[in-house]
Amino acid sequence: MPRTFEKSPAGTRQPLKARTFHRMGTAISLTVPPDAAAGGNGTEDGLAAATAVVERLFSELDQRFSLYRPESEASALARGELSLRDASPVMRERYAEAHEWRLRTEGAFTPERPDAVLDLSGLIKAYAVQESGTSLRALGLQDWCLNAGGDILVSGSPGPGTSVPWDLGIVDPADRGALLAGYPLGGSGGYPVCGRRRHAALATSGSAERGDHIWRQARDAPAFVQVSVAAADIITADVLATAIVAGGMPMLDRATDGWDVAVLAVCSDGALLGTPDFRG
């Protein structure tokens, strides 16, 4: 069940509205501006309906791709009862996409665990976020922020009709109750004539916590304990964040050279590396 909270923040000009549910082992929250005039998505009913759509999408993907569900298609594949050739089209598409990313990241991102079990869970959450975004737009919702366990995709602005960005925070891996940095997403409608387009997605991967889908290539100590990547889409952001944690400095340079991304990496000694967009 989505839960709503009743508390109102002090000093906020325009309190947003958020709904949260739990799926894929994490919390997913959808935040929208309260302004009902802006397409009606700020009304309680509109937010509840939108959250229900997102929740159903996550549920469907979880049922198919979860390795924690013995009855899932992914589990059948892992047990060898099902071959990829006989798998569903959506499973094969995601597998193909994962392998595409393995090639593009020169192996830093891989859909296979060391025990050769296919594990698409790293990609599926981002895919679920992307598909949710498509659904929200199809519903006519312009302004929203969707966060699935730290994978964030935004559309529009928290102030409907304005170019105000969604100000996001990045957790400090050394103190998970504190923020390390900020980053603005969205807010500018598409391609402005002057100035740069803001990214729409931000994802963070870490080597310390629940890194069960990250398998480091080298055996030496991790170069980065946490990597955040902002990109135009959530799958690129998520895959590259994962790949940089796994592939270290060479992958970080490949990512910033090859994609339109902003990266903030926290080294194991606490030092920071950041692309110019992360400089305050």
Site for another protein in 225-244 (CB under 8 A): 226, 228, 232
Q: Which of 1, 12, 114, 115 touches another protein by CB under 8 A?
A: 12
CB of 94 to another protein, least distance (A): 18
Q: From CA 83, how far away is CA 94, in angstroms rounded?
A: 15
Residue 5 interacts with another protein (CB under 8 A)? yes
Q: Please count the CA atoms within 13 angstroms of the CA of 60 that sit on its side-chain side.
A: 13
Q: Which of 108, 136, 246, 263 touches another protein by CB under 8 A?
A: 263
Phi-psi region of 116 (alpha: psi -120 to 50; beta: other; left: phi over 0): left
CB of 154 to another protein, least distance (A): 8
CB of 262 to another protein, least distance (A): 8
Residue 275 interacts with another protein (CB under 8 A)? yes
CB of 82 to another protein, least distance (A): 27
Contact characters 41-80, another protein, x per CB under 8 A: ----------------------------------------
Q: Which stretch binds another protein (CB under 8 A): 55-63, 64-72, 74-82, 141-149?
A: 141-149
Is the Cβ of residue 38 or residue 87 nearer to another protein in the bound state?
A: 38
Residue 197 interacts with another protein (CB under 8 A)? yes
Residue pair 246/109 in contact by the 8 Å Cβ criterion = yes
Q: Which stretch binds another protein (CB under 8 A): 71-79, 107-115, 133-141, 257-265?
A: 257-265
Is the Cβ of residue 87 or residue 165 nearer to another protein in the bound state?
A: 165
Is the Cβ of residue 40 or residue 182 nearer to another protein in the bound state?
A: 182
* φ/ψ (deg, to 5) at 131: -65, -35
Q: Which two tokens stand for residue 110?
A: 């891989």
Q: Which helix (H) or strand (E) holds 17?
A: strand 17-23
Q: Which residues of 145-167 are buried (b: 16+ CB within 10 A; e: fewer)?
A: bbbbbbbbbbbbbbbbeeebbbe
Q: Around Cβ 265, how many Cβ atoms within 10 Å?
A: 24
Is the Cβ of residue 29 or residue 87 nearer to another protein in the bound state?
A: 29
Q: Around Cβ 91, how many Cβ atoms within 10 Å?
A: 20
Q: From CA 66, how far away is CA 121, in angstroms rounded?
A: 7
Q: From CA 51, how far away is CA 69, in angstroms rounded?
A: 23
Residue 135 interacts with another protein (CB under 8 A)? no
Residue 123 interacts with another protein (CB under 8 A)? no
Q: Which of 51, 105, 147, 155 touches another protein by CB under 8 A?
A: 147
Specify the 3-state DSSP secondary structure of 30.
Answer: strand
Q: Which of 55, 66, 166, 235 touches another protein by CB under 8 A?
A: 166
Q: Give me the residues paired with residue 203 across strands.
A: 229
